[in-house]
């Protein structure tokens, strides 16, 4: 990037909000996918008009712009794979409004998810989506990737909490979409087209989000199963029994082992898998649901531990959220997938990953949001071991093929980014894929906003218009 252009960019946001030294740039080059690409400039705009000015300049001079929240994404969505500008949203971090009467809030994209949850809790309200990274990830990134979390089984994913947007289009126009009401069908639903579009269609500058009444009570059960297939088979049974847990998480034996030292509740030696079942709602509702769950467990002779106080609940959650980072104790690298299958097919999926692990001599963990069929599959490896790397890549390929055969989908909440783009065509109808690329081209004719993401590279080159 030419110096004069850098100067123009710095003038938009102010010199003090512009980074260009290699050491500083390096801090904005990576995300949780384990990959890194150096940007040429990092800018910290603090309002929509600055974002618009940056994008207009990008169209004029054809350099890429990539929005970045906390860099906690798992698939490279915020990485500047073609250099250019990283547009960091950390200064646009205001909670603009909490409208408790109408149970909604207006926030800027850089607000940290956990901090929003905390802020609305003071109004007796809840912002439902709870990705594992909620202590540091941001709302803008959550909407861009359509993040999920354990509570999605009851409260839906980020998309379901999104009501409206102020978004800067790749061509630099500032646009408002959506509503401040519970309903709205005036024109096409542009708002939700942006949810999960991985920063390729626009840069959010304000988000209108739905809030819910905070549940009055909560209780957590840890089901200890001595058989993996028993554990996975229970998931659909629990949901069908009329129980409506706000969490139904699953961990296999390897996942348990990496966080075992964080759980003080004693687990039976024979434990092969855990299910974490959380119930929330009014006090009566929670005690009614607890009674039903206990009857369900007694009928099936399933042993459990109940977290009896807030500390125990917190501890279980800390253990659950620590699984992903703690896996690196096993091997230095991993391929981390978040496939989804219909709930009733989870046992088949997990049986398959076990078989895969044995056949390819790899450690493969499975854990995650079993309640909605969203299983995190972590294929552990040492990338410097070429043979192991090849086996791991083969494992991923076979995993995806099987997931699609089970009528599942490649990603429940991490998105496609760069890590899965070469597999996208396996899942999507070619007409749908071509239409998505035409939409991208309509929004971003010069391909300056987060280029190189989602779409398979060769498809981009051979598109017929």
CB of 96 to a copy of itself, least distance (A): 14
Pairing of strands 41-43, 85-88: parallel
Minimum CB–partner distance for residue 425 and a copy of itself (Å): 10
Sign of CA dihedral 72, 76, 78, 83: positive
DSSP state of 28: T
Distance CA 38, CA 28 (A): 7
CB proximity list for 459: less than 8 A, separation 6 or greater: 425, 433, 434, 437
Nearest distance from C-beta of residue 20 to a copy of itself, angstroms: 32
Q: How many CB atoms lie within 10 A of CB 394?
A: 15
Whichever of 25 and 147 has its CB closer to a copy of itself, that residue is 147
Minimum distance, C-beta of residue 171 to a copy of itself, in the bound complex (Å):
10
Largest pairwise CA distance in the chain: 73
Query: Residue 464: which residues within 8 A CB-CB, separation 6 or more?
Result: 434
Taking the least distance from each CB to a copy of itself, the nearer of 39 and 415 is 415
| Residue number, 259 or 346, with CB nearest to a copy of itself | 346
Residue carrying structure tokens 């939409």: 439
Least distance in Å: CB of 59 to a copy of itself? 15
Nearer to a copy of itself, 388 or 444 (CB): 444
Residue 38 token pair = 């150096």
Can you name the residues that pair with 218 across neighbouring β-strands? Answer: 280
Q: Given the complex with a copy of itself, which of 10 and 424 has the nearer CB atom? A: 424
Strands 85-88 and 65-68: parallel
Closest approach of a copy of itself to the CB of residue 423, in Å: 9
Minimum CB distance to a copy of itself smaller for 213 or for 325: 213
* Shorter beta-carbon distance to a copy of itself: residue 5 or 428: 428
Q: Which residues of 201-211 are buried (b: 16+ CB within 10 A; e: fewer)?
A: bbbbbbbbbbb
How far apart are CB 413 and a copy of itself at their closest, in Å?
A: 6
């Amino acid at each position: 990037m030419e110096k004069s252009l850098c100067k123009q960019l710095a003038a938009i946001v102010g010199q003090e909000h512009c980074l260009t030294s290699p050491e500083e740039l390096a801090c904005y080059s990576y995300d949780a996918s384990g990959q890194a690409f150096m940007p040429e400039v990092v800018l910290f705009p603090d309002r929509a008009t600055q974002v618009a000015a940056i994008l207009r300049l990008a169209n004029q001079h054809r350099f890429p712009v990539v929005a970045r929240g906390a860099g906690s994404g798992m698939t490279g969505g915020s990485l500047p794979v073609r250099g250019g500008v990283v547009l960091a949203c950390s200064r646009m971090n205001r909670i603009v409004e909490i409208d408790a009467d109408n149970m909604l809030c207006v926030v800027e994209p850089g607000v940290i998810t956990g901090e929003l949850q905390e802020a609305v809790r003071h109004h007796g309200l809840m912002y439902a989506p709870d990705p594992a990274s909620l202590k540091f990830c941001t709302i803008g990134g959550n909407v861009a990737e359509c993040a999920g979390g354990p509570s999605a089984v009851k409260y839906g994913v980020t998309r379901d909490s999104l009501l409206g947007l102020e978004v800067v289009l790749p061509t630099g126009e500032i646009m408002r979409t959506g509503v401040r009401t519970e309903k709205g069908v005036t024109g096409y639903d542009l708002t939700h087209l942006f949810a999960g579009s991985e920063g390729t269609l626009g840069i959010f500058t304000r988000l209108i989000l739905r809030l819910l009444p905070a549940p009055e009570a909560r209780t957590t059960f840890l089901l200890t199963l001595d058989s993996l297939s028993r554990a996975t088979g229970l998931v659909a049974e629990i949901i069908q029994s009329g129980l409506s847990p706000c969490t139904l998480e699953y961990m296999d034996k390897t996942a348990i082992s990496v966080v075992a030292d964080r759980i003080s509740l004693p687990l039976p030696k024979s434990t092969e898998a855990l299910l974490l079942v959380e119930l929330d709602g009014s006090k009566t509702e929670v005690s009614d649901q607890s009674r039903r769950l206990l009857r369900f467990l007694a009928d099936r002779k399933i042993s459990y531990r109940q977290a009896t106080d807030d500390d125990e609940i917190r501890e279980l959650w800390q253990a659950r959220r620590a699984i992903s980072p703690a896996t690196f104790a096993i091997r230095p690298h991993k391929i981390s997938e978040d496939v989804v299958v219909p709930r009733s097919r989870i046992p088949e999926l997990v049986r398959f990953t076990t078989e895969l692990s044995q056949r390819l001599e790899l450690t493969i963990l499975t854990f995650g949001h079993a309640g909605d069929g969203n299983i995190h599959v972590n294929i552990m490896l040492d990338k410097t071991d070429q043979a192991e790397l090849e086996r791991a890549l083969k494992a991923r390929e076979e995993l995806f093929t099987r997931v699609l055969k089970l009528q599942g989908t490649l990603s429940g909440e991490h998105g496609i980014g760069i890590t899965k783009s070469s597999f996208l065509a396996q899942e999507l109808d070619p007409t749908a894929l071509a239409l998505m690329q035409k939409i991208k081209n309509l929004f971003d004719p010069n391909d300056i906003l987060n280029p190189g993401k989602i779409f398979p590279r060769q498809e981009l080159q051979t598109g017929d218009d």
